[in-house]
């Protein structure tokens, strides 16, 4: 006779351990202040709990949405239901934030500011983790992931441009600095993407040469590894006197924008940081090419250049793109430090906020940097998956 199943074990398998953890973390987050009300953008504020930050009807409605969303994440399986639960929870969180900000600013004065406190940020993190867990279970293909990313970005932009969040302090900082924000975003993209392009233009040929020449590989990779170990602030500092001397000695260098501070030292430092992942992954990808594929190409009469472009590089492309992913995400983060030497980008807001003890100004630089890095990582992961050659099944 078959052994009777254990009801307790069956119930355990029907529950998601991550879902239970997220629900517990969300409950703990409710013990933290949800909103902060300040008399102005600089002074310390008063923390408001979730149940005190908005009218009771709004708190109940938002709380029910949060609880229902987290509850949908507790059962195991059904990833679409769990994904819907995370979206429902996010809707409840945003609703309470909006209603709470509006209620707290009513009669508080023109300079008053309301910002999300630790509890709201923790709840946001928990719900994003629930969403990531559900998407990991769904395991969508690269094209489906691209579509989901596009939908999320459109929804985020629609939310920001609708004015729904305009009462929150970070959006008030954005409203007063729209032109500066646009310039900082373009400069940040120029630093991150430009340094990626320059590193690829230098690193791909160098990586191919290192793959072909063991002596060059033994000399180049240790030097690039050493550059990678230099702290970012020290690297930016080293660039200042070198480029300052070059600008003073060469009118042509000054004419193209080379100077001791500003965009040039930040850009060159980011390129130097990016070279190791590009070169190392190019070497690794080419070295992993199956010898049988190379022999087959040689047997077909392909020249060395043809084998490189038609066989080796296509097969190595997933590993090469993985190196570019490391570079792009790394340089998006490091570009913030460039604000210290006048490089611009979102780091200018971060360091201005630190100097003024203005938390919302710091967030105006930090939040878009985080979003940019997440989007870049997802896009590069999609490209890596698309570059993989999946063998056709045998008949």
pLDDT digits (tens, 9 = 90+) for 93-124: 999 999 999 988 887 777 888 889 999 999 99
Over 70: is that where the pLDDT of 41 sits?
yes
Residues of 202-212 as b/e, b for ≥16 C-beta within 10 angstroms?
bbbebbbebbe
Choose the final residue of a domain: 154, 187, 221. 154
What is the residue-averaged pLDDT of the chain? Answer: 86
pLDDT, tens only, 1-13: 444 445 444 444 6
Same domain, 226 and 310: yes
Residues 141 and 237 both lie in one domain: no
Q: Are residues 233 and 337 in the same domain?
A: yes
Give me the number of domains the chain comprises.
2
* Whether pLDDT at 62 is above 90: yes
pLDDT digits (tens, 9 = 90+) for 311-326: 888 888 999 999 999 9
Residue 256: pLDDT band by 50, 70, 90 thresholds? low
Rounded-to-integer distance, Cα 168 and Cα 105, Å: 10
118 and 27 assigned to the same domain: yes
Distance between CA 103 and CA 59 in Å, rounded? Answer: 12
CATH of the domain at 226: 1.10.3720.10
Cα→Cα distances 61→100, 114, 155, Å: 12, 21, 22
Q: Examine the domain organization and report whether 192 and 128 are in the same domain.
A: no
35-38 sheet: strands from edge to edge: 46-48, 35-38, 113-116
Does some domain include residue 264? yes
The answer to whether residues 294 and 379 belong to one domain is yes
For residue 41, give the nearest of 102, 113, 92, 141 by alpha carbon. Answer: 113
Where are any strands of DSSP class E within the chain? 35-38, 46-48, 113-116
CATH number of 111's domain: 1.20.140
Instruction: Provide the domain limits for residue 189.
Output: 178-387
Q: Could you give the percent of the chain with pLDDT greater than 90?
A: 44
* pLDDT, greater one: 21 or 260: 21
Q: Are residues 58 and 139 in the same domain?
A: yes
Of the pLDDT bands very low, low, confident and very high (cuts 50, 70, 90), residue 210 is very high
For residue 82, tell me if it sits in a domain.
yes
Residues 88 and 201 in one domain: no
Q: What is the number of residues in the chain?
A: 395
Predicted structure pTM score: 0.85
Cα–Cα nearest to 46, from 55, 37, 54 = 37
Q: Are residues 147 and 198 in the same domain?
A: no
Task: Measure the CA–CA gap between 280 and 207, rounded to whole angstroms.
Answer: 7
Whether residue 149 sits in one domain with residue 23: yes
């Amino acid at each position: 006779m078959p052994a009777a199943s254990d009801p307790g074990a069956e119930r355990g398998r029907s529950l998601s351990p991550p879902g239970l953890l997220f629900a517990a973390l969300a409950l703990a987050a409710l013990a933290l202040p949800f909103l902060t009300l300040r008399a102005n953008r600089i002074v310390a504020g008063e923390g408001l709990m979730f149940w005190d930050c908005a009218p009771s009807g709004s708190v109940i409605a938002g709380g029910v949405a949060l609880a229902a969303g987290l509850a949908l994440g507790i059962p195991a399986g059904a990833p679409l239901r769990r994904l819907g639960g995370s979206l429902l929870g996010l809707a409840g969180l945003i609703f309470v934030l909006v209603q709470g900000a509006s209620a707290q600013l009513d009669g508080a004065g023109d300079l008053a500011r309301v910002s999300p406190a630790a509890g709201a940020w923790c709840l946001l993190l928990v719900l994003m983790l629930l969403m990531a867990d559900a998407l990991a279970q769904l395991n969508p293909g690269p094209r489906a992931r691209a579509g989901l990313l596009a939908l999320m970005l459109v929804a985020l932009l629609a939310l920001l441009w609708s004015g729904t969040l305009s009462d929150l302090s970070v959006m008030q900082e954005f409203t007063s600095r729209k032109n500066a924000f646009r310039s900082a975003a373009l400069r940040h993209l120029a630093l991150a993407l430009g340094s990626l392009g320059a590193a690829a233009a230098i690193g791909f040929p160098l990586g191919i040469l290192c793959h072909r020449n063991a002596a060059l590989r033994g000399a180049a990779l240790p030097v690039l590894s050493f550059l990678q170990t230099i702290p970012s602030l020290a690297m930016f500092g080293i660039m200042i006197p070198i480029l300052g001397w070059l600008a003073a000695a060469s009118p042509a260098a000054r004419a193209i924008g080379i100077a001791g501070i500003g965009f040039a030292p930040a850009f060159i430092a980011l390129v130097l940081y990016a070279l190791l992942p590009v070169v190392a992954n190019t070497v690794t990808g080419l070295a992993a090419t199956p010898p049988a594929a190379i022999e087959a190409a040689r047997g077909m009469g392909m020249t060395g250049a043809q084998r490189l472009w038609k066989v080796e590089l296509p097969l190595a492309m997933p590993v090469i793109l993985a190196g570019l992913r490391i570079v792009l995400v790394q340089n998006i983060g490091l570009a913030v430090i460039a604000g210290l030497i006048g490089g611009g980008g979102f780091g200018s807001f971060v360091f201005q906020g630190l100097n003024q003890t203005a938390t919302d100004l710091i967030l105006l630089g930090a939040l878009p940097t985080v979003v940019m890095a997440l989007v870049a990582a997802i896009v590069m992961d999609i490209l890596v998956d698309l570059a993989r050659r999946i063998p056709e099944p045998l008949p």
